Structure 1
Amino acid sequence: MSKPIAGLWDCRRHFIKKRSLESIEEFSACKRKSSWGILTSQGSWADRSPLHEAASQGRLLALKTLISQVNATTIDGVTPLFNACSRGSASCVDLLLEYGAKAQLESCLPSPTHEASSKGHSECLDVLISWGIDVDQDIPHLGSPLYVACKSQQIHCIKRLLHAGANVQKGRHLDTPLHAAAQQTSTEIINLLLDFGADINAKNTDYRRPVEVATPSSLVERLLLLYEATPCSLCQLCRLCIRNCIGRSRLHLVPQLQLPKLLKDFLQYRESITNF
């Protein structure tokens, strides 16, 4: 092949290669644009602020620089505080609350407390409780935080809520937390709710008691049947009565009572009833 022809072929190959690369780049750009279009059509993702992103990823330093948008909401009503609770970042939750984030907005909006309770993020729940949230906040379609935690079998969150004075009877409509727990498998949660005074005879909208919604022949059903046949001890009744008289807002003052440490621990469920 002569040199002029060879040179022509080299130029042709170079031109084809260059056009191929340009086509690939154009395709990639179109694909990225298409992908972004998909993302922006997915509701709340489209209007998530950098603050939402930092909170959902637990990036504390980034969150500090964006803190001026504390109560920003997406189209779905999601706040950065909700994102932080969903992620399980207690430090982000604390920082957001410190700078004015509202833990409880309208009842129709996503609730950080319910999110932490359902996901089992007990440390986030501790922070929320320390900032004075209403542990019995009712969301019509979800119920109380305790009810949500019982449905998800998040025992650490259940303990936090009960120790903070959550109403053991407040669930979703007539369904109590004990109804929710009875449909699951944890006897530990059942015992915990009963210790805090759950009414074993409460009836839901279908007029069924907790034992009647439990799986037949299960350990949960056997435990509830046993509890029905066993009278509540005087110690247990006294503890429940005293805690009710003190009231939820003053339970934190129990350690200051002029009582023996053993009794104060008992009132705070730090001492087993079998020791009395």
Structure 2
Amino acid sequence: METGAAPFTAPAALRGPVIGDIGNWVDRTPVHDASRQGQALQLKQLIESGVCVNLVTVDSITPLHEACLQGHIQCVKLLLDAGAQVDARNIDGSTPLCDASAAGSLECIKVLLDYGAKVNPPLFTASPLHEACMSGNPECVKLLIDVGANLEAHDCHFGTPLHVACAREHLECAKVLLSAGAKVNAAKLHETALHHAAKVKNKDLIEMLVEFGGNVYARDNRGKKPSDYSWPNSPTAKCFEYYEKTPNTLSQLCRLQLRKELGQGAVEKVYKLNIPQRLIEYLAYN
């Protein structure tokens, strides 16, 4: 090299984040843009040119986060093949699997899991299962449960995934959770999923929660029962009035107790019992 010649410096888009390099942290880079917009060919060219696939913004968002949030499966595969960190966390603690679940992208979830994405993050942060329930995709919810998602994962803001599904009125997601053994009376500040169902005035949701053992007498941190959140003489108020006055049948009590003993994965265990098919269907809520 000639004396006095300036050393080669890679363009900003090709360098990783450097402390003090504010622009590189704040702005989305070309690789972020290509990932977010689903421009697979452009992303491939950037990767081949030596771009860092783990560039992060000021809020710790990686290109893989961007691709997963938009459900761009080709971009997700390109990034992972190029060494993208599958469990990278942004400033809110969300991983690419959380973002794929929020997008309701079943294919992205499958690919991330194939690359070793963790389905259960640390406690007190929203999990991929929370995000799937929030987006209202029962197929994503079922897949995450099948690979071991914690049904009782607790987020300090949302509570359990069942709380989220009920607050957002995603009936099918709530049914998948309950069928898999989610605790119907799990509480967040003493507030149960039934309180959420009452607040959104969803009669179908209320009936399903009670059928799975929801406690109509549970009181939240304000001392209120679920029925206290219904309007007088409304369909939900009449529904609660009926349940509060009508005791459970013996068959229902037996079903609830047996499923409680079986715990998570109760449905699979029920089908292995040596009992009549009619009883199996009853215990499995079919």
> Which of 167, 187, 190 is the equivalent residue of 2:206?
190
Q: Given the alignment of the two structures, is residue 85 of structure 1 paired with residue 110 of structure 2, yes or no?
A: no
Question: In 1, are the aligned partners of 2:203 and 2:236 still within 8 Å (CA)?
Answer: yes
For the pair shown, which has the larger CA radius of gyration, 1 or 2?
1
Question: In 2, are the aligned partners of 1:146 and 1:171 still within 8 Å (CA)?
Answer: no
> What corresponds to 2:40 in structure 1?
none
Structure 1 residue 215: deviation in Å?
2.4
Map of 1:92-103 to 2, 5 A cutoff? 92-103=108-119
Structure 1 residue 36: deviation in Å?
9.7
Q: Given the alignment of the two structures, is residue 53 of structure 1 paired with residue 69 of structure 2, yes or no?
A: no
Check 1:74–1:153 CA distance in 2 against 1; reply closer, same or farther (3 A cut): same
Q: CA RMSD in A?
A: 2.1
> What corresponds to 1:246 in structure 2?
262
TM-score normalized by the length of structure 1: 0.79
Q: Please tell me the residue identity of whatever aligns with 1:83.
A: D
> What corresponds to 1:260 in structure 2?
276
Question: In 1, are the aligned partners of 2:24 and 2:57 still within 8 Å (CA)?
Answer: no
Map of 1:222-241 to 2, 5 A cutoff? 222-241=238-257
> What corresponds to 1:201 in structure 2?
217
**2-side partners of 1:229 and 1:211: how far apart?**
12
Deviations 1:16-35 (A, max 9, x none): xxxxxxxxxxxxxxxxxxx9
Structure 1 residue 38: deviation in Å?
7.6
Question: In 1, are the aligned partners of 2:125 and 2:156 still within 8 Å (CA)?
Answer: no
Describe the SS at the equivalent of 1:66.
helix
Aligned length in residues: 234
> What corresponds to 1:64 in structure 2?
77
Check 1:247–1:108 CA distance in 2 against 1; reply closer, same or farther (3 A cut): closer
Map of 1:109-120 to 2, 5 A cutoff? 109-120=125-136
**1-side partners of 2:183 and 2:25: how far apart?**
46
In structure 2, runs of 5+ residues without a counterpart are: 1-22, 29-55
> Which of 154, 162, 178 is the equivalent residue of 1:162?
178
Question: In 2, are the aligned partners of 1:117 and 1:149 still within 8 Å (CA)?
Answer: yes
Q: Given the alignment of the two structures, is residue 175 of structure 1 paired with residue 191 of structure 2, yes or no?
A: yes
**2-side partners of 1:55 and 1:148: how far apart?**
21
Question: In 2, are the aligned partners of 1:44 and 1:76 still within 8 Å (CA)?
Answer: no
Structure 1 residue 231: deviation in Å?
1.8
Structure 1 residue 108: deviation in Å?
4.3
**2-side partners of 1:269 and 1:229: how far apart?**
23
**2-side partners of 1:44 and 1:105: how far apart?**
22
Describe the SS at the equivalent of 2:154.
coil
In structure 1, runs of 5+ residues without a counterpart are: 1-34, 271-276
Question: In 2, are the aligned partners of 1:183 and 1:215 still within 8 Å (CA)?
Answer: no
Structure ranking higher in helix proportion? 1
> What corresponds to 1:141 in structure 2?
157
> Which of 234, 256, 259 is the equivalent residue of 1:218?
234
> What corresponds to 2:90 in structure 1?
74
**2-side partners of 1:46 and 1:217: how far apart?**
48
Check 1:178–1:211 CA distance in 2 against 1; reply closer, same or farther (3 A cut): same
**2-side partners of 1:138 and 1:44: how far apart?**
28
> What corresponds to 1:13 in structure 2?
none
Question: In 1, are the aligned partners of 2:87 and 2:96 still within 8 Å (CA)?
Answer: yes
Structure 1 residue 200: deviation in Å?
0.8
Question: In 1, are the aligned partners of 2:165 and 2:171 still within 8 Å (CA)?
Answer: yes
